[in-house]
Amino acid sequence: MLSTHSPLARKLGNFVALSESDLAVLDTLHRRRRSFAVGRDLVFQGQTHQAVYILAEGWVCSYKLMRDGSRQIVDFQIPGDFLGLRSVLFRTADHNIEPLTPVEASEVLESELLQTFADTPRLATALLWAASRDEAMVVEHLVGIGRRDARERTAHFLLELSARLTLVGRGTRDGFACPLTQYHLADALGLSSVHVNRVLRELREDGLATFQTGQVTIHDFDRLAELAEFDRAYLDQEGPLLR
């Protein structure tokens, strides 16, 4: 029954048990539907008066540009994720958001959002939880870049994507459809695309996982998780905390 609702409702439902009226409020946030084309950024660093979006369909990445032209992809967002939530709370965007596939998203106004928090504290709690989960992922990403070598980092990245996609029903333990290129991986992992390529070859030759355009296949989940020190505690949730 949750599946008849938006991916966002599905995600939040993992944390707080949502009432019919909560779900109705979530639905009202989905009124202004927008489409975005691949590569046309929908949020720019430094932009003010930015709307928030709830991603309904497609993949995007959020990244920061450096002076020297290189970029660091901070995270990929998939359906059910908020886009630019921080930008509203700070009133100026500190990152860019780029669609990697054609994207469908619902625009939410700042006033609507703040009103929702005030009217529906349960949802505010759920959103706080979602924000914490996002932070946990960024932290894991940080640890990866700081203390894992290229192989471990890549392995961890693939496992995390797999876990997230599985949660919203778009992947399994064996693999998932994935629109990313090796360049995206490089920008996300803090590696050069050349090196990413080598690492992917190694993972493939070792029978751990295959990354090809459009499809990621995980051949040996356990060994991959072992290599990556992957701990899914920070993604799993054994049922709603708030009933």
Partner DNA sequence: CGGCGATCCTGCCGTGGATCAGTTCATACT
Partner DNA sequence: AGTATGAACTGATCCACGGCAGGATCGCCG
Residue 219: φ, ψ to 5°: -85, -40
Which of 39, 127, 125, 35 has the alpha carbon at shortest distance from 88?
127
194 binds DNA (CB under 7 A): yes
Q: Rounded to the nearest whole angstrom, what is the least distance from the CB of residue 177 to a copy of itself in the complex?
A: 26
164 binds a copy of itself (CB under 8 A): no
Q: Rounded to the nearest whole angstrom, what is the least distance from the CB of residue 131 to a copy of itself in the complex?
A: 5
200 binds DNA (CB under 7 A): yes
159 or 200, CB closer to DNA?
A: 200
Residue 224 near residue 204, CB atoms below 8 Å = no
Indicate the pairing of strand 96-99 with strand 82-83: unpaired
Stretch 134-163 residues interacting with DNA (CB under 7 A) = 149-151
Q: Rounded to the nearest whole angstrom, what is the least distance from the CB of residue 243 to a copy of itself in the complex?
A: 11
CA dist 182 and 195 (Å) reads: 10
72 binds DNA (CB under 7 A): no
Stretch 114-143 residues interacting with a copy of itself (CB under 8 A) = 114, 117-119, 121-122, 124-125, 127-129, 131-136, 138-139, 141-143
CA dist 37 and 31 (Å) reads: 20
Q: Rounded to the nearest whole angstrom, what is the least distance from the CB of residue 4 to a copy of itself in the complex?
A: 26
Residue 222 near residue 209, CB atoms below 8 Å = no
213 or 237, CB closer to DNA?
A: 213
Cα distances (angstroms) measured from residue 194 to each of 33, 119, 162, 198: 39, 51, 23, 7
194 binds a copy of itself (CB under 8 A): no
* Span near a copy of itself by CB under 8 A; candidates 88-96, 100-108, 169-177, 216-224: 88-96
**Cα 86 to chain center, whole Å?**
14
190 binds DNA (CB under 7 A): yes
72 or 181, CB closer to a copy of itself?
A: 72
Query: Using CB under 8 A as the criterion, which residues of the chain lie in contact with a copy of itself when the complex forms?
Result: 15, 46, 64, 66-67, 70-72, 74, 85-86, 89-92, 94-95, 114, 117-119, 121-122, 124-125, 127-129, 131-136, 138-139, 141-143, 145-148, 189-190, 229, 231, 233-234, 237-238, 241-242
